[in-house]
Structure 1
């Protein structure tokens, strides 16, 4: 029983280290490079285009 508990503990930590190695450090960090904000209120809005239309387009096409 002690060996089983020790091996389980060891495998847990091995998988935890592997998970940290595979995933990025911070999912919510501020992007760098040519990142663009999804909403730029007042900037780049075409004439007659409403904010709701832009939101619907974003969810429909994922852009």
Structure 2
């Protein structure tokens, strides 16, 4: 079996160029995604800002089915 050095070098060059371009494109895509993405909404506030939230009230402990259904439909839990 005859091995052509030109054919193998062209294949190796193709693989190297493909790999380099793949890294360039994926790096560019990551940079573009970071540049376009919005600011993280759940990060800790800076300065005098405060993050305020309302906790859900405790569920009723009664065994009445109507109260439990009312609670479920009102709060979705």
Scaled by the length of structure 1, the TM-score of the pair is 0.48
Scaled by the length of structure 2, the TM-score of the pair is 0.42
Higher gyration radius (CA): 2
- Greater helix proportion: 2
